[in-house]
Copies of this chain bind each other. A is one copy, B any other.
């Protein structure tokens, strides 16, 4: 087993005990990247010296016996819409080529406080919307990795880093996690502060994580969750649960799971439908199918109005100053966004509360909702990042969402790509 195969939780433990150094771990990850990233292209910015220098400093701290953080020495991939001080953050568009922020985003600052190594910047789609970046699916370079957090999903899936950060305004964490076969977690809206992250849509933008184990999902989320007064979506009233202990516990009683097909079930392919039916059979009496209220049938429209109107507002500068450098798809989104009325926007927003209340009622009865992350396996072709529609309801309502890489196509996909096949 190579060091880059370790989970963050395992690696932290070994670093803490002095069994391995951060430098060795980062070096192993860099070698893995060197070996396979020529084909996958998960990184927008990667400077081995920058990563190794952090690792060496962190090793000195540990060797000195000083207190160490929860992610001490662990390399983390950072989606390239999340600001990193003095390190390029180019937002997936030539318009911001060469952009270097002076200040870390809140989450990056949190990572540094926890002793993480900022490994580099992972590829995002154009301004975190739909036009793909250069990244390929690590299981099959002819398939999309999903987006917009393409590089983070691919880097974790291909063992280049154990964990990475992403963001989701529609399906940008859950979808690439599903297509790449890793855990992707978007906690509740407002749980992770967004200050210093490209703003696409204030009521929809949410940060989250990629990992290969649930322990790592819990560990990284716990480091990132918090209150930041400059992000009004966050609140210090939210009690800080120890996600790490909760993730390690057995459930106190058998969980009651609601299986929800969502209004877009028809878009799911046969493999997806069959796999979910099989999964429900396996789960047996713990799961029952529930119908969402018909009001959820309009979520895609509401979400589109809010997201596109917000894109038009947030990317006004890019549109006005460099329209030609935008993709056709983003230009169309912005132009549609300009056409929505304030009243239509308000009406769509008013549905967030209504629908979230309905979900609140469901969660009184069910511990979790089981539903497809995507319509099927990663589609062939690199000209788009796939259909996000299975994610929209949960993003719109701001409820936590976790992609669990457990369905058969991931295993099959793994065989397609020798670089990763050996890992599964």
Contacts and interface: CB of A to CB of B under 8 A. Distances in A.
A104 B313 CA distance: 39
A346 B340 CA distance: 12
Contacts of A399: none
B337 A342 contact: yes
A10 interface: no
Interface in A189-213: none
A313 B347 CA distance: 7
Nearest to A313: B346
Interface in A312-363: 312-313, 316, 337-347
Interface string A294-319: 00000000000100011011001000
Contacts of A309: 341-343, 346
Contacts of A342: 305, 309-310, 312-313, 337, 340-342, 344-345
A305 B338 CA distance: 15
B337 A343 contact: yes
Contacts of A340: 341-342
Nearest to A345: B342
Q: Is the interface of A mostly helix, strand, loop or mixed?
A: helix
B343 A316 contact: yes
Interface string A392-412: 000000000000000000000
Contacts of A339: 341
A176 to B, nearest CB: 28
Contacts of A347: 313
Contacts of A337: 342-343
A312 B316 CA distance: 25
B341 A310 contact: no
Contact of A345 (B305, B316, B345): B345
A310 B350 CA distance: 12
Contacts of A345: 342, 345
A141 B92 CA distance: 66
Contacts of A305: 342
A144 to B, nearest CB: 30
A236 B337 CA distance: 36
Contacts of A346: 309-310, 313
Interface string A18-29: 000000000000
A347 B340 CA distance: 14
Contacts of A341: 309, 338-342
Q: Which of A309, A310, A339, A342 has the most CB of B within 10 A?
A: A342
A397 to B, nearest CB: 17
A346 B312 CA distance: 10
Interface in A106-131: none
Interface string A85-114: 000000000000000000000000000000
A305 B347 CA distance: 17
A339 B340 CA distance: 9
Q: Which of A309, A337, A346 has the most CB of B within 10 A?
A: A346
Contact of A338 (B310, B312, B313, B343): B343
Nearest to A334: B343
A345 B348 CA distance: 15
Q: Which of A310, A343, A344 has the most CB of B within 10 A?
A: A343
Nearest to A309: B342
A341 B346 CA distance: 11
Contacts of A343: 309, 312-313, 316, 337-338
Closest 10 CB pairs between A and B? A309-B342, A342-B345, A313-B346, A340-B342, A313-B343, A312-B343, A342-B342, A338-B343, A338-B341, A341-B341
Given A309-B341, A338-B341, A342-B342, 8 more contacts: A310-B342, A310-B346, A313-B343, A313-B346, A313-B347, A316-B343, A337-B342, A340-B342
5 contacts: A310-B342, A313-B342, A316-B343, A339-B341, A345-B345
